[in-house]
Amino acid sequence: MVRGLISVIVVNWNRRELLRQALASVARQQQAHYELIVVDNGSTDGSVQSIQQEFPQAALIRNTVNRGFCAANNQGIAAASGEFIALLNNDAEADPRWLAALHAVFEDRPDVGMAASKILMASDPRRIDKAGHLIWPDGQNRGRGAGALDVGQFDRVEPALWPDGCAAMYRREMLDQIGGFDEDFFAYADDAELGLRARIAGWQCIYTPFAVVRHHRGATLGVHNSRRLMLIERNRILLAVKLFPASLLWLNGYYFVRRLLAGAAAAARGQGETALFPGVRGKWILLCALLLGNLSALPLLPRMWAKRRAIEAIRKLPAARVKALILQNQISLRELSTQAALP
């Protein structure tokens, strides 16, 4: 491990033009000592050739198939030499001082293992995409402030629940202690699982408004992709079973029903996730994705339960404090139901 070095990992799958913009933004970073690692998940759109020709400084890991966000990032982490690991989505562009601002968060804060960026919408940089994360007590999580006009309400360096994996920095020491991404999640809610696991292990997260990124929302699978919805719904169950305290896990069904009812009310107003799936056919697709997400979680529950027991080896935060942490960072039901779950 090289002290002071930041290993920037970018995972890609068939997003050549967006990837070029993301890597160009990394090349413009100022006052940061970094290495660049790109993990390509079997792209067929010329992404690999573009990396090799335009960004020869990048270490390239090539997969023959799409191994998912979690496995690909774990590959990048394993290959990294840095004291810090920075993740940048292939559909995000970082300001020139993004890395320096995130790195500054860790100075004189040995208990901080994660740093969160101020992520803006690329389509309208006046609006917040994510400024850290919030969570609903059934495991569904959303970006803090998503969709809100940026009027300075998130312009303080302050504690956050965990960072969004779109643009985050992690202390390597923390990842060595608690492990990397859980590959059973494949994609979506993976950053929530890693972040909450880190909090349970006693690590803190700090959000900084000086680390700015612009994100092309929903570019990974597309906003209308039912598989995206299925994975989001499945993974919120896996997250809860693996990491939630028992007193909150038993109430999962109650919070789930409340979320569904709020979502139905939002649908009647043409808001929230349902607005992306118009008409009877769209609502049917949405319902099927929801049901499939819940059903597809079932085969993985025994593995999550085994992992739940293994968490005790790294636990620093007792169950009561984990519950308080979740409830203190709870997203309002209204905000949750009117947002679209875009990654």
Assign 275 a pLDDT band (cuts: 50, 70, 90). low
Tens of pLDDT along 31-53?
A: 999 999 999 999 999 999 999 99
Are residues 157 and 75 located together in one domain of the fold?
yes
Range of the domain at 208: 2-215
Q: Looking at the predicted structure, is the pLDDT value of residue 62 above 70?
A: yes
Please state, rounded to an integer, the average pLDDT across all residues of the chain. 92
Are residues 15 and 45 located together in one domain of the fold?
yes
Contact between 308 and 243 (Cβ < 8 Å): yes
Are residues 119 and 254 located together in one domain of the fold?
no
Domain stops at, among 174, 196, 215: 215
Query: 221 lies in a domain?
Result: no
Are residues 188 and 101 located together in one domain of the fold?
yes
Tens of pLDDT along 94-107?
A: 999 999 999 999 99
Q: What is the mean pLDDT of residues 192-221?
A: 91
Are residues 32 and 114 located together in one domain of the fold?
yes
Are residues 16 and 133 located together in one domain of the fold?
yes
Are residues 61 and 197 located together in one domain of the fold?
yes
Query: 342 lies in a domain?
Result: no
Are residues 91 and 165 located together in one domain of the fold?
yes
Assign 218 a pLDDT band (cuts: 50, 70, 90). low
CATH code of the domain in which 106 resides = 3.90.550.10
Q: What is the pLDDT of residue 274?
A: 61
For 91, the 3-state DSSP assignment is coil
For the chain, how far is it from start to end, CA to CA, in angstroms?
Answer: 31
Measured CA to CA, the distance from residue 23 to residue 36 in angstroms comes to 9
Both structure tokens of 340: 């679209």
Other CB atoms closer than 10 Å to residue 278's CB: what's the count? Answer: 11
Query: 334 lies in a domain?
Result: no
Q: What is the pLDDT of residue 226?
A: 75
Query: 341 lies in a domain?
Result: no
Total number of domains constituting the chain: 2
Measured CA to CA, the distance from residue 39 to residue 21 in angstroms comes to 16
Supply the DSSP string of 92-113, one letter for each residue: EEE-TTHHHHHHHHTTT-TTEE
Query: 210 lies in a domain?
Result: yes
Query: 323 lies in a domain?
Result: no
Question: How far does CA 114 lie from the centroid of its chain?
Answer: 12
| Parallel/antiparallel/unpaired status of strands 2-12 and 112-121 | unpaired
Are residues 38 and 139 located together in one domain of the fold?
yes
Tens of pLDDT along 127-164?
A: 999 999 999 999 999 999 998 999 999 999 999 999 99
Query: 257 lies in a domain?
Result: yes
Are residues 12 and 127 located together in one domain of the fold?
yes
DSSP label at 205?
E
Q: What is the mean pLDDT of residues 228-232?
A: 89
Torsion angle defined by CA atoms of residues 316, 119, 211 and 317, in that order, rounded to the nearest 10 degrees: -10
Measured CA to CA, the distance from residue 170 to residue 199 in angstroms comes to 12
Are residues 106 and 141 located together in one domain of the fold?
yes
CB-based burial of residue 174 (10 Å sphere; 0-12 exposed, 13-18 middle, 19+ buried)?
buried
For 224, the 3-state DSSP assignment is coil
Are residues 181 and 287 located together in one domain of the fold?
no
Q: What is the pLDDT of residue 1?
A: 86
Tens of pLDDT along 185-202?
A: 988 999 999 999 999 999
| CA atoms within 13 A of residue 274's CA, in its CB half-sphere | 20
Query: 38 lies in a domain?
Result: yes
Assign 276 a pLDDT band (cuts: 50, 70, 90). low
